[in-house]
Amino acid sequence: MGSGGQDAGVSSEGSGFRGVSFHSIVSSSKAVDEVMGNAVASGGGVVKESAGSEWGSYFGYFSDPDGHLWKVASGLRPWMAVAAHRACTYTPAWRRRA
């Protein structure tokens, strides 16, 4: 089981963790709960209920109707948000070449 699967409590066996999860960083624990609620209302399923973590974040996991795993989190420290933004916008050198 990969780290994404372990974090969500999903087995890598069978139709469990597929090796990738999508993450959405939101502004508050209330926003996490809203996104989780909207996911369920749209046909998704709760994989791991939203809860606080030992490092101060608040997060939960849901699966969309196609079975993809999503993590919704808040409570990042400012430097973590900058690092997450850079990771999402980073373009590898081989992709920057003309």
Q: Which residue has the tokens 């999402």?
A: 88
pLDDT per residue as tens digits for the range 3-22: 455 565 555 555 555 567 78
Question: The whole model's pTM is what?
Answer: 0.64
pLDDT tens track for 18-39? 567 788 889 889 999 999 999 9
Q: Which CATH superfamily is 3-96 part of?
A: 2,3-Dihydroxybiphenyl 1,2-Dioxygenase, domain 1 (3.10.180.10)
Predicted pLDDT at 66: 85
CA distance 61 to 48: 5
Domain boundaries, the chain: 3-96
The pair of three-digit structure tokens given for residue 62, joined into one six-digit string: 């849901």
